[in-house]
Amino acid sequence: MSMDGFNGELWNEFQWEAHLNEVEKKSEQLRKFIESDVKGNVPRWITLLKESLSEDDAFEAYVEEELLMDEAYFPEDEDDWEDEDEFDDEDFLFGLDEFDEFPDAEDDDDFDAGEEWKSLSEDFALSDNGSLDNLGLFRDARFYAVDILKWAESVPPKNQDKVFLEFVGDSLKIAAKLAGGYSFGFEQEFLGANIAYTKKALRFANQSLEMMRKLKTKSFFTKQSYAEFNGRLFELRNDIGVYVQDLRDRFNNSVD
């Protein structure tokens, strides 16, 4: 994100959260505009699985689309915050190919040998010079989401009810919202946005835990798979909660 303040006011997490809620409403309208399934009966992750070569590719495409949808409604210039023009869907579609994709593993060779150790550290990840892929919390959410996609493919389409579809979608959104927050960075003026996005990741983690319990009673999981997924999601949810508090501490310390 490249915005530089809004009339000199420092937004907190709640002001950002209210704005993000409006952004999400517009994103949903845009999503309906660009998707072939105009009735919205087919979740996007199912379409991406059919179009992708692997679950990893489907996950990356899903997160990239989620970030693009939201980013379309964040003005690039400071003055635009006072008077936002109506968004032109065609202009957005024209610029889709400008989005930076997730870095490939091969790109690691681009690091200077003396800087590689620093770039891979967790402390470095929690800075504006860090990399999302080096954030341990995001890696956990990513691996979890990819494994959920692999599991979802084993469920026959006739058994994929509303709870199942929402569970898989929310499992993917955990990582997507973490990525959205990370994209704002850790500077004081944007920490509120980072926190607001991360709180949404926490909400989707809680929703996923609740839906997982419902799916257990419907025998979607084996005893072993339920124990594994539930344990991973429970730990992920707790880690996100700690991360939210860490970000809040950063924000509060920066304004003292």
Return the pLDDT at 72: 63
> How far apart are alpha carbons 73 and 92 in whole angstroms?
10
* Predicted confidence band of residue 90 (pLDDT cuts 50, 70, 90): very low
Nearest to 46 by CA among 33, 63, 59, 34: 59
Asked if the model's pLDDT at residue 15 lies above 60, the reply is: yes
pLDDT digit string (tens) for 53-88? 899 999 999 999 889 887 766 655 544 444 444 434
Residue 41 DSSP class: -
What fold, for 13-76+122-255?
A: de novo design (two linked rop proteins) (1.20.1440)
DSSP H or E stretch at residue 30: helix 13-34
User: Which position has the token pair 């999981």?
Assistant: 221
Return the pLDDT at 256: 57
> How far apart are alpha carbons 56 and 45 in whole angstroms?
12
Across residues 138-158, what is the average pLDDT? 96
Return the pLDDT at 23: 84
pLDDT digit string (tens) for 179-222? 999 999 999 899 999 999 999 999 999 999 999 999 999 999 99
* Predicted confidence band of residue 105 (pLDDT cuts 50, 70, 90): very low
pLDDT digit string (tens) for 123-144? 556 666 678 888 999 999 999 9
Across residues 99-118, what is the average pLDDT? 47
Task: Report yes or no on whether pTM surpasses 0.85.
Answer: no
Return the pLDDT at 133: 86
Return the pLDDT at 41: 72
